[in-house]
């Protein structure tokens, strides 16, 4: 290409960028998005800013929890799926992987569970105060006696997790609401590990990385703070779908 022609094309490109910078940037972002989607699994973006849940969940915890811990689960999951020994899992959805894992599939169990649980967790949090509907509160009260009893039982399940794990509100196959807990990154989708199948509605991460920067060893304080940021419309949507 001659120098004069190159300068002309470069000049036209510059004019195009000035006249429509967002279009060019949008195309760039679209290309990056397409490239990321080629990987088996990716870390979902948070639906709010990392400081949006302050003062209940602090900004630094959210940054480390999402950008470091969750990202590590996704990387390790993708690495495990690339191994020949795990080829039977490579074309499955995340839910199908979790349903199929056995005790011998430690990397898929731990990292697949970590990816699912954290994706689930981010979605159910909101920087805006939300309240459960009367219908959902009535269903909760019918099962647990009252809304207050439900919160107390859920809090107890979270407090009693020994070490790291999760507390859950689920719907079982009989359409009954239940409170439970699981160790590490396990969840009720893991039927191959002997868990009674159930649909998660609400989950609380009680690994220390979820709260230690702000609350140190005061897990009950973190559990109390959690209730201030629950996105009840998301929880109820899951309930209706179940």
> Binding site for Mn(2+): residue ranges?
65, 118, 205, 209
Binding residue ranges: 65, 118, 205, 209
Concatenating the DSSP letter of every residue in 146-211 gives SHHHHHHHHHHHHHT--SSEEEEEEEETTS-EEEEEEETT--TT-GGGTPPPEEEEEEEE-SGGGT
> Hey, what are 70's tokens?
């969750």
Phi, psi of 53 (to 5 degrees): -95, 5
Contact 101, 109 (CB under 8 A): yes
**Half-sphere exposure at residue 228, Cβ-oriented, CA atoms within 13 angstroms:** 13
Q: Identify which of 242, 236, 230, 237 has the alpha carbon closest to the alpha carbon of residue 121.
A: 230
Q: Which residues pair with 179 in a beta bridge?
A: 169
Contact 229, 62 (CB under 8 A): no
């Amino acid at each position: 290409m001659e120098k004069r022609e190159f300068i002309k094309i470069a000049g036209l490109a510059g004019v195009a960028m000035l006249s429509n910078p967002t279009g060019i940037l949008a195309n760039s972002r679209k290309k990056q998005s397409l490239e990321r989607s080629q990987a088996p699994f990716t870390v979902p973006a948070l639906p709010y800013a990392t400081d949006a849940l302050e003062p209940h969940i602090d900004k630094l915890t959210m940054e480390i929890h999402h950008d470091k811990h969750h990202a590590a689960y996704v990387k390790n999951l993708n690495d495990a799926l690339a191994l020949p020994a795990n080829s039977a899992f490579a074309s499955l959805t995340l839910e199908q992987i979790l349903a199929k894992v056995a005790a011998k599939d430690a990397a898929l169990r731990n990292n697949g569970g970590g990816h699912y649980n954290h994706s689930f967790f981010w979605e159910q949090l909101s920087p805006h105060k939300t309240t459960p509907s009367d219908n959902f509160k009535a269903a909760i009260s019918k099962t647990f006696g009252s809304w207050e009893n439900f919160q107390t039982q859920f809090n107890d399940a979270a407090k009693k997790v020994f070490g790291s794990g999760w507390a859950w509100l689920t719907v079982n196959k009989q359409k009954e609401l239940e409170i439970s807990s699981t160790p590490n990154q396990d969840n009720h989708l893991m039927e191959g590990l002997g868990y009674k199948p159930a649909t998660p509605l609400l989950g609380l991460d009680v690994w220390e990385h979820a709260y230690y920067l702000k609350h140190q060893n005061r897990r009950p304080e973190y559990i109390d703070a959690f209730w201030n940021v629950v996105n009840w419309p998301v929880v109820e949507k899951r309930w209706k779908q179940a």
